[in-house]
Chains A and B, each alone.
Chain A
């Protein structure tokens, strides 16, 4: 079946530090990959996505590259801000599984000024 594994948090960083959140997946076929972000008290928002191997998704300074050879989709940002404090979820969607999202456990990121 499908599964997503991401690094556990919390991850605590200082402002302007480099952020990496690791995400690996197991899936049949060719899934689409996503990063969602959940700010305190809010629902999930799509941060970025990639639909095929070697695609790079990017948004708000965040990037992630779909690596089929390593089944990974690591999230990176070069210089984080306090406003990036949130919980980040890696997810995959697979037509073979009926287009439902399979999420990782989430990684809480806390950026300190």
Chain B
């Protein structure tokens, strides 16, 4: 059974640009969450989607957005990139929106220059 797949794995952008990251959850999983991991702030929750609806959102500015498609694949977008957006972005999926094991992808490492 394939795990959570995130693309791209690595990318470099410059300030002011925008970026789109993609996440394919485990087959059958309907909930997808996104987390940002940085050395200074640790792991912080961005948002969660379930059946194409955003169920929960963390304390990030509106530049961070996401969506989920009917096949449960998810994308997150960061517009007007800032240096502080450099981070590892982790996607996680689980079967339903209720409590249960989260399966994480390997992450997309974004560097903003």
Q: Are A44 and B90 in contact (CB under 8 A)?
A: yes
Q: Is the CB of B106 within 8 A of A99?
A: no
| A99-B48, A103-B43, A105-B42 known; A46 vs B102 contact (CB < 8 Å) | yes
Residues of A within 8 A of B4 (CB): 43
Given A41-B106, A44-B104, CB of A101 within 8 Å of CB of B45:
yes
Binds A, one of B13-21, B76-84, B93-101: B93-101
In angstroms, Cα B35 to Cα A36, docked, is: 14
A2 to B77, CA, bound (A): 27
What is the CA–CA distance of A105 and B41 in the complex, to the nearest angstrom?
Answer: 8
Q: Could you tell me if A100 and B104 are in contact, using CB atoms closer than 8 angstroms? A: no
Most chain B CB atoms below 10 A, which of A41, A42, A44: A44
Q: How many A-B residue pairs lie within 8 Å, measured between CB atoms?
A: 52
B63-113 at interface with A (beta carbon < 8 Å) = 90, 92, 97-99, 101-107
Is B104 a contact of A99 with CB atoms below 8 Å?
no
Is A49 among interface residues, defined by CB-CB distance under 8 A? yes
Q: Which residues of B contact A81 (CB under 8 A)?
A: none
Size of interface on B: residues with Cβ below 8 Å to A? 23
B39 to chain A, nearest CB (A): 10
A51 / chain B contacts, CB cutoff of 8 Å = 99
Cα(A62)–Cα(B106), bound, Å: 23
Residues from chain B with a CB closer than 8 A to the CB of A95 are: 99
Known: A43-B106, A93-B99. Is A100-B90 also a contact (CB below 8 A)?
Answer: no
**What A residues does B98 contact at CB under 8 A?**
99
A73 within 8 A of B: no
Give B contacts to A, CB under 8 Å.
Answer: 4, 33, 35, 42-45, 48, 55-56, 58, 90, 92, 97-99, 101-107
In the assembled complex, 7 residue pairs joining A and B whose CB atoms fall closer than 8 Å, in A order, are A42-B106, A46-B101, A49-B101, A99-B55, A101-B35, A101-B102, A105-B42
